[in-house]
Structure 1
Amino acid sequence: MTQDYADARPYLPDPSTAPELFEGVLTRRVIAHLIDLAVIGALLMAVSVVGLILGFLTFGLAWAAMFLVVPGVIVLYYGATLGSTRRATIGMQMMDIVLTPTRGQPLDGWMAILHAGLFWVTFWISWPISLLFALFTPRRQMIHDLVVGTLMIRRSPMTRHWQNTPRTAFY
């Protein structure tokens, strides 16, 4: 007997019963990603200026460290924003979306970093497939969402949805 994906995880919001949680999520994710790229770019510019100055003061040693500092800034950005209680990067907050775990485990900094890392890997391999994949999943989940066990939904209607859902449905 086959079981529908929505029935297998009754504690997750269903697009047929709570469409407001999924309204425009994919478009919002794309715009949030562009905003996050701008924020990360600004952070990297600031780190680069500091690295440039420190490179002159340390006779080039700080320039060699930039190969570790640049990825570190990106990892810290995702870990600090997605791993926070808001569960959203700056771009996601601006676009009113939030990252929600689907497997009953908490979304901590390490899970956020894993989510972001898998996003970049799947996005670099083939971004059209990654976006198209989300069009064919009922909850608009991308490949990395399914692997890590997360769900992206709208924040503002989420509060109303959880208040109206019985507590016994959650882990």
Structure 2
Amino acid sequence: MTQDATARPYLPDPSTAPELFDGLLTRRATAYVIDVILMSFLVLVLVISLVGAILGFFTFGLAWVSLVFAVPAAIILYYAATLGSPRRATVGMQMMDIVLTPTRGQPLDGWMAILHALVFWITIWISWPVTLLFALFTPRRQMIHDFIMGTLMVRRSPMMRHWQRQRMYEQDAYHGGE
């Protein structure tokens, strides 16, 4: 599955492909809760680890200062490793059968995933009600950070079928012109 603009000349429309957006907001919210639990577990393991807890006692608390940098680093690595992977989904998103799709033709790599997560956390931190309400009134259920970053969240299994149909349609159109 390629991510270039020629393979996807248009974005899926909820009126022609409603299965891509069915229950999307509920799935996103559930995936968010799963991801927060997983990230909390990762941070907890980091804090309780020998480096974080025991070394802090030996250095009279000085090593605990490093946790200010280590905790965000663990969260950033989580997003880069999951959202920036070829699956383009965090563990929670994979469990909820949703995937992040770029809309502007640029590839979705680790840096784009980190930026997407950073903009998400900033918009949620500044005004979470507006961010959530925004998704209720957009046809593709995009949130503010999706618009800013040029991404679209869709259900993965129907999306695969949608792009396969699109590819077959393009191949038929190409071969039909000969």
| TM-score normalised per structure 2 | 0.86
Per the alignment, residue 20 of structure 1 pairs with 19
Q: SS state of the match for residue 151, structure 1?
A: strand
- Distance apart, 1:57 and its partner CA: 4.2
Could you tell me the percent identity over the aligned residues?
69
Structure 1's unaligned 5+ residue stretches are 1-8
Which has the higher Rg, Structure 1 or Structure 2?
2
- Distance apart, 1:60 and its partner CA: 3.2
Per the alignment, residue 108 of structure 1 pairs with 109
Instruction: Name the aligned partner's letter for residue 147 of structure 1.
Output: I
- Distance apart, 1:135 and its partner CA: 1.0
Superposed CA RMSD = 1.7
Per the alignment, residue 41 of structure 1 pairs with 40
- Distance apart, 1:122 and its partner CA: 0.7
Per the alignment, residue 145 of structure 1 pairs with 146
Partners in 1 of 2:59 and 2:112 — Cα distance? Answer: 36
Per the alignment, residue 5 of structure 1 pairs with none
- Distance apart, 1:58 and its partner CA: 4.3
Residues 27-58 of structure 1, C-alpha deviations (whole Å, 9 max, x = no match): 11011101111000100110001111232344
- Distance apart, 1:127 and its partner CA: 1.1
Instruction: Name the aligned partner's letter for residue 25 of structure 1.
Output: L
Q: Where does 1:7-86 land on structure 2 (aligned, <5 Å)?
A: 10-50=9-49, 51-86=52-87
Q: SS state of the match for residue 16, structure 2?
A: coil
Residues 84-113 of structure 1, C-alpha deviations (whole Å, 9 max, x = no match): 011111110111100000000100011101
Partners in 1 of 2:57 and 2:85 — Cα distance? Answer: 36
Partners in 1 of 2:43 and 2:108 — Cα distance? Answer: 26
Q: SS state of the match for residue 10, structure 2?
A: coil
Partners in 2 of 1:127 and 1:26 — Cα distance? Answer: 14
Structure 2's unaligned 5+ residue stretches are 1-7, 171-178
Per the alignment, residue 97 of structure 1 pairs with 98
- Distance apart, 1:61 and its partner CA: 3.4
Q: SS state of the match for residue 139, structure 1?
A: coil
Q: SS state of the match for residue 166, structure 1?
A: helix
| TM-score normalised per structure 1 | 0.89
Per the alignment, residue 118 of structure 2 pairs with 117
Q: SS state of the match for residue 16, structure 1?
A: coil
Per the alignment, residue 130 of structure 2 pairs with 129
